[in-house]
Structure 1
Amino acid sequence: MAKMQLNLFLVTTAVSWILVSGSSATSEESTIDAVMSEVLSCLRIPGLSVTLVKNGRVILAKGYGTKDKNGQEPVTSSTLFSIGSLTKAFSATLLSKILYEKGHDLETPLTTIGELNDLRFSTEELTAHVTARDLLSHRTGIPSYDKARLSGQITLDNIAQILPLLQAAFPLRSKLMYNNLMYGLVGHVTQRLTRKPWSDAMQDELLKPIGMRHTAILNTSNYEHFQLPTPYDFTKRNFNASREISPKILKLWSMNAPSMAIVSDSVDMGKWILFHLNEGRAEDDTQVIPQEVLAETYRPVIPVPHPRNKFTARPITPVTFIFEEYGCAWKVGYYRGYPLVTHSGSTHGFSSILTFIPSMNIGAYLNFNTFDRSHFRRRVIMAYLLDILLEETPWLNSSSICTFPAPFAEWQYIPKSGANRTRGTAARALSSYVGRYHHPLFGSVNVVHNATEPFLRMFYGPLGHWALFPNNSDEFFGVGQGAVWNFALKDLKFTSLSANNEDIDAFIITSFEEKKPPIFKKVTEVSGINLNLFLTILFLLSLLTYHIVAHMVKRKRKSN
């Protein structure tokens, strides 16, 4: 069976690559094909997109494997993948270009720009001093508040309205705090400066001039049009079993488009790499953005240390592949002593990385449709491809890529501290926790209880649904249901804010923002309707909707 799958894989890759020179496949390509085949098999990754650039041209743009685990449709050079946070570099380049054309730069305080003088952050200091560089380099000191996106209420048009609610956890420019919502603000700023929707500005000012004709931007209604590979994640940290991720999550996340919503293929990503290696020039030699303006996006301004960096550095590995400083949507570091520019993208079942080494005029991109939680997989595949481009003997092969960090070091995934998922008995009757709880930023969550179930259910936004199990006193943990099956919640605590009353009137959801855990306050009435009755009706309607949708999907599959 394994031999049959390998033969099918090699047949698939033979027709799904583009060698720009038009020559026949080289021995290096055959070696890459064999390694990629073995890696996809051992890592249980269905499909992979790869681009290699060297000496001013794309030497390889290729698809490997298939678009889903069923293996029916091959990944080709024109297969679109969600590039996730690689989108951020596009957003940074676009805003840098617009600011330059309007006589500003990345250091200009945003509120000193006429079109933006009404922006208000949570403090006067942030309002007066935050710059575009602060947003793009994640150094505002504001935590991510990323789970607020599940509400389905935050858009590029209204994100400025919630800025005063985004409380900082650290002083401005003191610490990198990765923040997707700040890239939503980047999109908002871009829209106001260009007087165009962000997606239109991106196409008109950047993608079209570069010649990226196949590249597009996801939104809540166009996902099916792009026929993306099926995204997967692994269940319960079981790396032998992956499960499909709902497209509904990607659609919802695309409401914050500047942080993750670009989809592209291996051919167009080659043009993007060349754009950077050619210092801001397109394939027709048009200077899309001044070289010095583009270079400012690479300039590191804040450290980005990561404990797993040691696993790709000497003496653990024979060579060092490390990046510990951050610019504007780019990390900078070294590979084999060569300075590099890189970034990765992780978005609900798609895992990507793009790296280029300007001094050697090389670059590479890869993307696969399985979530790479540790980032090890994409990093070591990238290291292998960089060795091919540098004409170095690779220190990795298919075996060590599959087992990494073994045989160089031992490593095991350890859940974050406090992730107590031991089921216990609640401190009081489950009905005591039922209610609607509200937070100024996150909005409302609804907690319900069905008398036939030994747990609670929590609903949030259009997709959020968790089973809440007690593990200690008034503390619970949440197991995602349906579209949010891979969104686990920990350290959930029901409490009383009143010293004179022990009744539950607040709900702390630490997993929604660990740096600033939000406190949701209980709402006792909903439009005069008995709250328990209201939540029971809501629960039943949610179940009914789920079964209707499941039935429709089943019928559609049968008809196909």
Structure 2
Amino acid sequence: MNANEPKRTNKRLKRQTDGHDAVDSFSCNNNNSATSEESTIDAVMSEVLSCLRIPGLSVTLVKNGRVILAKGYGTKDKNGQEPVTSSTFFSIGSLTKAFSATLLSKILYEKGHDLETPLTTIRELNDLRFSTEELTAHVTARDLFSHRTGIPSYDKARLGGQITLDNIAQILPLLQAAFPLRSKLMYNNLMYGLVGHVTQRLTRKPWSDAMQDELLKPIGMRHTAILNTSNYEQFQLPTPYDFTKRNFNATREISPKILKLWSMNAPSMAIVSDSVDMGKWLLFHLNEGRAEDDTQVIPQEVLAETYRPVIPVPHPRNKFTARPITPVTFIFEEYGCAWKVGYYRGYPLVTHSGSTLGFSSILTFIPSMNIGAYLNFNTFDRSHFRRRVIMAYLLDILLEETPWLNSSTICTFPAPFADWQYIPKSGANRTRGTAARALSSYVGRYHHPLFGSVNVVHNATEPFLRMFYGPLGHWALFPNNSDEFFGVGQGAVWNFALKDLKFTSLNANNEEIDAFIITSFEEKKPPIFKKVTEVSGINLNLFLTILFLLSLLTYHIVAHMVKRKRKSN
């Protein structure tokens, strides 16, 4: 510790008889200023919720070893019937990744390994095989944690509903790298599925049990759980929303079915928690791996390795929260193990965000000042600006600095500091044109080794195609021109737009359509689906019904098998 750093304290949260932890009242210098600061925060948060069209918000502030604020604002849905409180569960999204990285780091340490140990040199993992010999021989836990395997995300494969923590090792050879190992950050949720798989094999427990037994319970996070395909309703999560593509001032509800499906890759996004427990998580890090009872849950040096940056993570929007555009700099451009590192007002910080289809979170702590903050709201923040500027405001309160933001500038950001407008990538080339051939020419079942099968059908009464994938995927495909299309999501995938879809022929001597390139499924390595069967001369409604029932049945069979495996273990 530097001589200039404030001395850290080990004060713990007080207990209540209901089993949850009480939160010390907000305090800075004295009781009067505490009341004033909390009232100011309350007013700003309420105004921000209104102007940004966010129904509910969860906030946690910690300082000098105490949770000084754990509070809910707004309501759980747009109807405004049920308030958000300090005990309201929110999906924390990719903040889950830090839990996953911490857990596996702890397990590897206890087994005599570290983050630099090649996975296949560990006895329990020597059968893992990646797409190349180099990856198989050299990939480490740190590579998985820091997204530097060079493997693109292949994230849309999760819509197929077939990938689980138990079988993800079987698809590893199909995950082709786009860049050399450790050369570039390629954000990859499926690699965190592999983190969960590795954890299960090393602990011989389901990942969710290992997380509870080895990390959450020792820290004292009793109001934190793992979302799965069958337990969503019990947490009574706030209703998630996203902004519509045509009107960014309007929001639409996101189907819980998508969150259930995504939770099959639990180590990347499936933790749900409340504001009080997230305070314990912040204190765990600020107290260097110690729990509220002062138990050393993980050695300080092992935990510190998860913060160490190993690869750049530049982003073009970072300039909007840095001088000279803004009065202060809030930036993070290096990545460690599920953590980004950077600076706020010159103070080194550790941070990460979470974005899971209707829930937007960010957690930040500044070790040298012994402060940290967490916030989460139930609207999809695609630009990340909303959560970043709210966080900047809260950090100023903790640092006892005069905030450079207020409710007005939070609501208009980047204005008045800069001009900027969010343009969705999926909005490219959505001009409807005329297909190069009869729509029936594109109809068929197309297959890809990793993604599985998609079905393209046509109803003679409709001037477009329909595409189906997995238990929930349904798109209306409209021609741009020639054999190119774009997809508009239907039902549960209404906010999953598809672009640059191209039907083609792989046979130079035959112009008949026999392949379908779905660029939006993986832009770095666009998958080519090959036609395997025709789907023609069939009643569309009957086909859709059969297809939906078969997909739903497959999804529930997989979910049931996972649930039975958990119980058997």
Task: State the identity %.
Answer: 97
Counterparts of 1:441 and 1:401, CA distance in 2: 43
State the secondary structure of the residue aligned to 2:171.
Answer: helix
Query: How many angstroms apart in 1 are the aligned matches of 2:241 and 2:293?
Result: 38
Name the counterpart of 2:270. 261
Q: 1:557 to 1:279 in 2, by over 3 A?
A: closer
Distance in 2 (CA, whole Å) between partners of 1:495 and 1:98 is 48
Out of 298, 308, 317, the residue aligned to residue 289 of structure 1 is 298
Which segment drifts farther, 418-427 or 78-87? 418-427
Measure how far apart 1:548 and its partner are: 20
1:188 matched to 2:186? The reply is no
The CA distance in 1 between the partners of 2:446 and 2:422, in whole Å, is 34
Q: Is the 8 A contact 1:108 1:132 kept in 2?
A: yes
Q: Is the CA contact 2:471–2:548 (under 8 Å) kept in the aligned structure 1?
A: no
Q: Do the aligned partners of residues 399 and 559 (structure 1) sit closer, same or farther apart at CA in structure 2, a change above 3 Å counting?
A: farther
Corresponding residue SS for 1:448: strand
Cα displacement (A) at 1:258: 0.1
Aligned runs of 1:497-512 on 2, under 5 Å? 497-512=506-521
In the alignment, the residues of structure 2 paired with residue 243 and residue 82 of structure 1 have an alpha-carbon distance, to the nearest angstrom, of: 18
Q: CA deviation at 1:238?
A: 1.9
Alpha-carbon distance between aligned partners in 2 of 1:57 and 1:159, rounded to the nearest angstrom:
40
Q: 1:161 to 1:529 in 2, by over 3 A?
A: farther
Distance 1:555 1:222, change over 3 A: closer
Q: By how many angstroms is 1:413 displaced?
A: 1.5
- Report the alpha carbon displacement of residue 554 of structure 1 after superposing the two structures with TM: 29
Task: Tell me the alpha carbon deviations over residues 247-289 of structure 1, each in whole angstroms, 9 at most, x when there is no partner.
Answer: 0000000000000000000000000000000000000000000
Structure 1 distance, partners of 2:310, 2:562, is 48
Given that 1:435 and 1:531 are in contact with CA atoms closer than 8 Å, whether structure 2 keeps it comes out as no
Aligned alpha-carbon RMSD (Å): 5.1
* Structure-2 change in CA distance of 1:145 and 1:388 (3 Å): same
| Distance (whole Å) between structure 1 residues aligned to residue 131 and residue 218 of structure 2 | 38
User: Residues 117-138 of structure 1, C-alpha deviation per residue, up to 9 Å, x if partnerless?
Assistant: 0000000000000000000000
* Distance 1:237-1:390 versus aligned 2 partners, 3 A rule: farther
| Per-residue deviation, residues 280-334 of structure 1 (Å, max 9, x unmatched) | 0000000000000000000000000000000000000000000000000000000
Greater shift, 405-414 or 526-535, is seen at 526-535
How many residue pairs end up in the alignment?
540
1:299 has 2:300 as partner: no
CA–CA distance in structure 2, aligned partners of residues 553 and 91 of structure 1? 19
Distance 2:561 2:295 in 1: 50
Q: Is the 8 A contact 2:60 2:275 kept in 1?
A: yes
- Say if 1:220 and 1:396 are closer, same or farther in 2 by CA, change over 3 A: same
Could you tell me the TM-score, scaled by structure 1's length?
A: 0.91
Counterpart Cα distance in 1 of 2:568 and 2:250:
28
Change (3 A) 1:133 1:547: closer
CA contact (8 A) 2:471 2:555 kept: no
Cα distance in 1 for partners of 2:531, 2:386 equals 44
Q: Residues 434 and 310 (structure 1 numbering): CA distance in 2 closer, same or farther, change over 3 Å?
A: same
Instruction: Choose the corresponding residue for 2:365, options 352, 356, 360.
Output: 356
> Structure 1 residues 355-364 or 544-553, which shifts more?
544-553
Structure 2 residue ranges without an equivalent (≥5): 1-29
The verdict on how the C-alpha distance between 1:183 and 1:372 changes in structure 2, with shifts beyond 3 A counting, is same
Separation in 1, partners of 2:63, 2:109: 30
- Structure 1 stretch 539-548 or stretch 418-427: which is displaced more? 539-548
- Show structure 1 runs of 5+ residues with no match: 1-20
Q: Is the 8 A contact 2:444 2:535 kept in 1?
A: no
**Tell me, what secondary structure is at the counterpart of 1:50?**
strand
- Cα–Cα, structure 1 residues 193 and 312, in superposed 2: closer, same or farther, change >3 Å? same
1:79-130 CA-partner distances (Å, limit 9, x unpaired): 0000000000000000000000000000000000000000000000000000
Q: CA–CA distance in 2 between the matches of 1:152 and 1:557? A: 18
Query: Residue 446 of structure 1 contacts residue 535 of structure 1 at CA under 8 Å; is this kept in 2?
Result: no
Pair 76,556 (structure 1): closer, same or farther in 2 beyond 3 Å: farther
Q: Check whether the contact 1:524–1:531 (CA below 8 A) recurs between aligned residues.
A: no
CA shift, 1:143, in A, is 0.1
Contact 2:457/2:540, CA 8 A, preserved across alignment: no
Question: Distance in 2 between the 1:447 and 1:509 partners?
Answer: 12
- Per the alignment, in what secondary structure is the counterpart of residue 417 of structure 1? helix
Q: Which moved more, 1:450-459 or 1:416-425?
A: 416-425
Change (3 A) 1:546 1:106: closer
Counterpart secondary structure, 1:555: helix
Distance 2:486 2:326 in 1: 38
Cα distance in structure 1, aligned partners of 2:431 and 2:562: 35
CA distance in 1, matches of 2:213, 2:249: 44
Contact preservation (8 Å) 1:435, 1:532: no
Q: Compared with structure 1, are the counterparts of its residues 546 and 226 closer, same or farther at alpha carbon in structure 2 (3 Å cutoff)?
A: closer
Compared CA separation, residues 112 and 291, structure 1 to 2 (3 A)? same
1:240: Cα distance to partner? 1.4
Contact 2:359 2:376 in 1 (8 A): yes
Post-superposition offset of 1:414: 2.5
For the Cα contact (< 8 Å) 1:298–1:330, is it kept in 2?
A: yes
Contact 1:53 1:60 in 2 (8 A): yes
Residue 51 and residue 496 in structure 1: after superposition, are their counterparts in 2 closer, same or farther (change >3 A)? same
Report how far residue 553 of structure 1 moved.
Answer: 26
Q: Give yes or no for contact 1:435–1:535 (8 Å, CA) kept in 2.
A: no
Does structure 2 conserve the Cα–Cα contact (< 8 Å) formed by 1:508 and 1:519?
yes
How far apart in 2 are the matches of 1:192 and 1:536?
A: 39
CA spacing shift, 1:533–1:210, aligned 2, 3 Å? closer
Write the mapping of 1:74-89 to structure 2, written as runs, cut at 5 A. Answer: 74-89=83-98
Closer/same/farther in 2, CA of residues 417 and 462 from structure 1, 3 Å limit: closer
Contact kept, 8 Å, 1:184 with 1:257, in 2: the verdict is yes
| CA distance 1:166–1:22, change in 2 (3 Å) | farther
Deviates more, 1:544-553 or 1:332-341: 544-553
| Deviation string, structure 1 residues 350-369 (Cα, Å, up to 9, x no partner) | 00000000000000000000
What does 1:58-457 correspond to in 2, within 5 Å?
Answer: 58-236=67-245, 238-416=247-425, 419-457=428-466
In 1, distance between residues paired with 2:493 and 2:484? 21
Give 1:550 deviation, angstroms: 22
1:540: how far off?
Answer: 10
In the TM superposition, structure 1's runs of 4+ consecutive aligned residues that sit over 2 Å from their partners are 21-25, 414-418, 524-560
